[in-house]
Amino acid sequence: MNTFECIEKRYSYRGKYSNELIPKEDLIKILEAGLNAPSGCNKQTTSLICVDDKEILDKLYSVIVPKTGNIAPAMICVLTERINAYRDKCFAIQDYSAAIENMLLAITDLGYASCWVEGHITDDDRICDKMASILNVPSNYDLVCYLPVGKPIETTKKVNKKAFEERAWFNGYKK
């Protein structure tokens, strides 16, 4: 798929997924796309765990309470290390967000769907920590987001966005 077509086509899918297993080579391509994102001072603070083992997936979904979204045949968990990059500045959020966007595009390009799930699992009840524990993630990493990955079997609508003129201007603020 063409880059611009893919960027335009990506959307947050909240419908049901097919049970169809995802070939490992597709999952690897998606992970590689994530790792190819830039990171502040090349600190590479983002790491990834892809889960396609049914038993482990079931354990992960069992701690995502209340449930959000639908169960997909694979899930990519995004880990971050809070390492300072430039003086006392840490760009871990920027780093993993760029990696996530690359993965969402890769997922779209390969004909799968996904949705960036972050706030629900990093909230006060810290579902993310329960997920990290299931995956044996050491304490120097935070699990901050997961992306379900699967073939969409429903047609859902893209969200509406403000007009270009409301958010982008040339040579100065113009709103």
Nearest approach in angstroms of CB 19 to a second copy is 18
Region 13-42 residues binding a second copy, contact defined as CB under 8 A: 24, 27-29, 31-38, 40-42
Q: For residue 170, state whether it binds a second copy (rule: CB under 8 A).
A: yes
Closest CA to 51 of 126, 109, 134, 112: 134
Is residue 117 at the binding interface for a second copy, with CB under 8 A as the rule? Answer: no
How far apart are the C-alpha atoms of 166 and 4, rounded to whole Å? 21
Candidates 64, 46, 36; CA nearest to 121 is: 64
66 preceded by cis ω (within 30°)?
yes
DSSP 141: S
Between residues 70 and 101, which has the closer beta carbon with respect to a second copy?
101
86 binds a second copy (CB under 8 A): yes
Cα 143 to Cα 26, 88, 166: the distances in Å are: 22, 22, 34
Which is nearer to a second copy, 82 or 89 (by Cβ)? Answer: 89
Beta bridge partners of 84: 90
Q: Does 4 bind a second copy (CB under 8 A)?
A: yes
Contact by Cβ (8 Å): 143, 118: no
Token readout for 93 is 């959020």
**71 binding a second copy? (CB under 8 A):** no
Using CB under 8 A as the binding rule, the residues of this chain from 43 to 62 that contact a second copy are 44, 46-53, 56
Give the CA diameter of the chain. 54
* Residue nearer to a second copy on the CB measure, 20 or 111: 111
Residue placing its CB nearer to a second copy in the complex, 11 or 151: 11
Q: Is 156 in the site for a second copy (CB under 8 A)?
A: no
Query: Is 172 a residue that touches a second copy (CB under 8 A)?
Result: yes
Q: Is 65 in the site for a second copy (CB under 8 A)?
A: no
Q: Does 167 bind a second copy (CB under 8 A)?
A: yes
Q: Cβ neighbours of residue 42 under 8 Å, at least 6 residues apart? A: none
In the bound state with a second copy, the residue whose beta carbon lies nearer, of 17 and 22, is: 22
